[in-house]
């Protein structure tokens, strides 16, 4: 395989962006590496691969040699485990910075539109990098604090308190939960909370207790309060629904049955943030880092033909 330069690849990428850009419904064109093989990935919201897109493009290098670069397509709206492996966060620019040599040093004047001349080791890289949207809030994130209230007529009975479906273009990251009860609990009454993402077998379920008769509901319970919610690490993907339910067991030892009258209401508050999966500026899919990328094992690129590049 001939030696590739970054300018070769960037030139190829520019051509592909020009030829297979928005006119064919392509929302994103990226250049990635699969086992060291440069590969172009097109993304669109169409249900199938758009017509007229070849499986590979021929790239003529400056050296005169020609190679073929595979061109893969993926559906940007689909978000299965395999297809969400969108690679890393995108660094839009690499800024060369002059290493200051002393108090007398001054950055050179850079003519607009021209590259800074680089001919020695006076510059260092400054790379903007983002952490994934499920780990820290992205720029387009919003606070997510919802609550639900339900009447709890009897002990030892699960009652659904809230349900919330994540919009198709967003993702919710829950970080904590807190609660209040009104005319419901006595001191040392134990209750259970369960938070569940639809279709996920493993839920968060915990016990808590009315620990003190503080008039401020933020300081009444053993494990959670509005000022310091109980830690809850949960990602609710787009189109998924988070549901929550609660039941009151009473004091230890639990002797109440589902027929034991209780009354009163309980309110559950979920805290976190909601991240947009699309940019409100270009309404295009903005891929984000979804986890580890094994060397050459990127699931999103699983349909590449091994050895398909000359």
- Name the segment binding another protein (CB under 8 A); options: 51-59, 138-146, 154-162, 205-213: 205-213
3-state secondary structure 105-163: CCCCCCCCCCCCCCCCCCEEEEECCCCCCCCCCCCCCEEEEEEEEEECCECCCCEEEEE
4 binding another protein? (CB under 8 A): yes
- Which tokens go with 270? 């979920």
164 binding another protein? (CB under 8 A): no
Min dist. Cβ of residue 109 to another protein (A): 18
179 binding another protein? (CB under 8 A): no
| Angstrom distances, CA of residue 268 to CA of 41, 194, 196 | 43, 10, 13
Which residues, other chains included, contact 183 with Cβ-Cβ below 8 Å and sequence gap of 6+?
A: 263, 264, 265
Considering the complex, state which of residue 73 and residue 179 has its C-beta at the smaller distance from another protein: 179
Nearest 5°: the CA angle 213, 219, 225 is 135
291 binding another protein? (CB under 8 A): yes
Tell me which residues in 208-227 interact with another protein (CB under 8 A).
208-209, 211-212, 214, 219-225
- How far apart are the C-alpha atoms of 238 and 305, rounded to whole Å? 31
How many residues touch another protein under the rule CB under 8 A: the total is 79
Residue in 2, 22, 25, 36 binding another protein, rule: CB under 8 A: 36
- How far apart are the C-alpha atoms of 52 and 104, rounded to whole Å? 58
Residue in 165, 206, 279, 284 binding another protein, rule: CB under 8 A: 206
186 binding another protein? (CB under 8 A): no
Tell me which residues in 233-262 interact with another protein (CB under 8 A).
233-235, 237, 252-253
Residue in 64, 125, 143, 307 binding another protein, rule: CB under 8 A: 125
Q: Are 248 and 255 in contact (CB under 8 A)?
A: no
Site string for another protein, 71-110 (x = CB under 8 A): ----------x--x--xxxxxxxx-x--------------
């Amino acid at each position: 395989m001939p030696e590739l330069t970054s300018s070769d690849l960037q030139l190829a990428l520019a051509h592909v962006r020009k030829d297979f850009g928005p006119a064919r419904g392509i929302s994103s064109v990226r250049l990635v590496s699969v086992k060291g093989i440069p590969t172009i990935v097109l993304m669109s919201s169409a249900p199938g691969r758009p017509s007229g897109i070849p499986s590979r493009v021929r790239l003529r290098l400056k050296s005169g040699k020609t190679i073929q670069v595979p061109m893969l397509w993926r559906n940007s709206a689909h978000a299965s485990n395999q297809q969400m492996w969108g690679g890393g966060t995108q660094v839009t620019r690499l800024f060369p910075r002059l290493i200051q040599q002393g108090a007398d040093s001054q950055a050179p004047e850079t003519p607009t539109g021209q590259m800074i001349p680089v001919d020695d080791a006076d510059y260092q890289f400054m790379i903007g990098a983002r952490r994934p949207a499920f780990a820290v809030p992205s720029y387009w994130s919003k606070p997510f604090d919802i609550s639900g209230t339900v009447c709890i007529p009897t002990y030892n009975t699960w009652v659904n308190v809230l349900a919330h479906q994540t919009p198709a273009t967003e993702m919710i990251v829950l970080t904590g939960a807190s609660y209040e009860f009104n005319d419901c609990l006595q001191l040392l009454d134990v209750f259970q909370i369960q938070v569940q993402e639809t279709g996920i077998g493993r839920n968060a379920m915990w016990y808590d207790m009315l620990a003190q008769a503080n008039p401020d509901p933020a300081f009444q319970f053993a494990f959670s309060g509005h000022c310091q919610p109980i830690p809850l690490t949960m990602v609710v993907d787009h189109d998924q629904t988070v549901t929550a339910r609660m039941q009151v067991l009473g004091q230890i030892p639990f002797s109440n049955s589902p027929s034991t009258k209780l009354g009163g209401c309980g309110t559950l508050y979920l805290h976190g943030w909601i991240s947009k999966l699309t940019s409100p500026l270009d309404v295009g899919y903005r891929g984000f880092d979804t986890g580890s990328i094994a060397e050459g094992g990127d699931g999103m690129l699983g349909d590449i033909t091994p050895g398909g590049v000359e």
